[in-house]
Structure 1
Amino acid sequence: MEENKKNELELGKSKDLDKAEEIKKSGKLEIFYGRQFSGPLPPPEILESYEKTLPGAADRIFTMAEKEQEHRQKIENNMVENDNKNRKAGRRSSTFLMCLIIITGAILSMYNKKIMPIASLITVLGLAIGPLFFENWKNDDTENKDGESE
């Protein structure tokens, strides 16, 4: 059944092309035929014509596509590595900041300051727990957007 459909399509195309040739010869209309493709490699027919025109062209096209893929993978790996480095630096900075605030609160409590140590402990708790809530909230928003787009 698929072969019949394929043959019908080919016949339809050839009939259309015959009609187009007749119209073109009569001078009534000019028809331009073009093909479009996307991706790093052209379709096999075009690749074959490149190879006939310039021997070795197909190999050069494949080499170019392979180099492009390697380049994209390197860029993606660099992005992941940089993201990991930034996260580690953020964790170190926040840990240092929390320790500094705890030490400041301890020093203030030694000097009989009542409000400041409590404020510093609340700040530390906010710094420690806040990112967890923010990360969960951010993930929930991302899941909602993904769910809406499907």
Structure 2
Amino acid sequence: MRASIRRTAALGMITAAAMTALAPAAAAAPERASTDESRLYAPNALVLTVSKGETAKTATPLRAVTLTCAPTPGGTHPAPEEACDELRSVNGEFSALRGGEERACVKIYDPLVATAEGVWEGRRVAYERTFGNSCVLQTEGGSVFSF
């Protein structure tokens, strides 16, 4: 009987020691989880470019920005809130962007290529479109490609 009491006491001491050792880690875990809000959102990071030419492969890059939309709009884009709102309105389908304004553009062919590469709402994005000139890009590309 004494042997079983000793084993029970020893087991209790080991359990208490283990709980004491693990307590700081358990207490810190919720704190780490609450400060890392970005894990609550799907990955979202884009590189947008505007280049002079007909295809991205042969065009000369003029401008490039980064855009993130979750958890908050940001990046080097000059108007990330507007660009993110516009992308959300088309569910990240760049080909559906049409801009918000009606504007008559001259018919001078001076091509610009707009590209978007990265991740939108957890899915890979690789978009390329050639616009006839800068007026058409600003009108149809909306705030997403206004940089």
TM-score over 0.5 for the alignment?
Answer: no
Bigger relative CO (Cα 8 Å, ≥ 6 apart):
2
Larger Rg: 1
TM-score by length of 1: 0.28
Q: TM-score, normalised by structure 2?
A: 0.29
Q: Which structure features the higher share of strand residues?
A: 2
